Chains A and B, each alone.
Chain A
């Protein structure tokens, strides 16, 4: 085994990759914090709300949805759990928010990290967004919610049941 080659490749390659990732992540985190400070989410979520009609979702689901898309599930989890517990969002809307976010979340941070290793930005941004819209649309029109209309779900937002 080429020990010298391995040590050289492992040391240089690993540190180089982490440094490049840091050079993306640190400015992104500063921008995300500034966006939170300026309450950009409030403004954009109002604009997004009407578009959610295509999924039959209430305007209230716009805020947690946008928080997850931009900040990610763990980061936006506070907002999402808060919205769920407040009871303003129905179980159906919460389910659709989760479906959408499961495919499309942390669009800024995760995308940047994959750009560092060489992925095509158009495919991973537009493709993921499109896929999330399609799958959410299909599920929002499915019979799944008819069956679950009055079923008690082990959640915090089951007060309203379905739609």
Chain B
């Protein structure tokens, strides 16, 4: 029984790793590519004013957008490629852990009969407020 559980865990771990790799590697490559082009500078300047509120550089907007709208794995790929300080990584990690994969997770909430939109609003608000708060205290 224990052996079966270990095998199940191993297979699950490998399957998660495969899913992870399929998302993290392309995102990492694309974000690294952007860093080598003027496009990154443009994105950074565009989002700098908004990101300043949560103590993050403009480039970090890529990870936030990916995390909010797709999933955490894509955000992780972007974070790994960007050169962020440990304070910035902690802030962005917290913001994304509170609020991520919105389309999918709102659907799950809806499925168990609670209002997905209310949860969506609460999470987004909490995510931004915790970013502002952590920027202040860290």
Contacts and interface: CB of A to CB of B under 8 A. Distances in A.
Interface of A: 1-2, 5-6, 9-10, 13-15, 17-18, 21-22, 25-34, 36-37, 73-74, 77, 80-81, 84, 91, 94-95, 98-99, 102-103, 109-111, 113-114, 116-120, 123-124, 127-128, 131, 135, 153-158
B119 interface: yes
Contacts, number: 172
Contact of A6 (B2, B32, B113): B32
A75 to B, nearest CB: 9
Contacts of A34: 2, 5-6, 9
Interface of B: 1-2, 4-6, 8-10, 12-14, 16-17, 20-21, 24-25, 28-29, 32-33, 36-37, 72-73, 76-77, 79-81, 84, 86, 89-90, 92-94, 96-98, 104-105, 108-109, 111-115, 119, 122-123, 126, 130, 134, 138
A31 B97 CA distance: 22
A37 B1 contact: yes
21 contacts: A6-B33, A10-B32, A14-B28, A14-B32, A17-B28, A17-B76, A26-B14, A29-B13, A30-B13, A33-B9, A74-B104, A99-B119, A103-B123, A114-B97, A117-B76, A117-B80, A127-B94, A127-B130, A131-B130, A135-B126, A155-B114
A29 B9 contact: yes
A13 B17 CA distance: 16
Contact of A102 (B10, B24, B109): B109
- Identify whether the interface residues of B are mostly helix, strand, loop, or mixed: helix
A10 B28 contact: yes
A119 B90 contact: yes
Nearest to B29: A10
Contact of B98 (A10, A103, A117): A103
A123 B138 contact: yes
Given A37-B5, A131-B98, 18 more contacts: A1-B37, A10-B32, A13-B32, A17-B24, A17-B76, A21-B17, A26-B14, A33-B8, A34-B5, A74-B108, A94-B113, A103-B98, A103-B126, A110-B72, A119-B94, A153-B113, A153-B114, A155-B112
Given A6-B32, A13-B28, A119-B89, A91 B80 contact: no
Contacts of A21: 17, 20, 24, 76
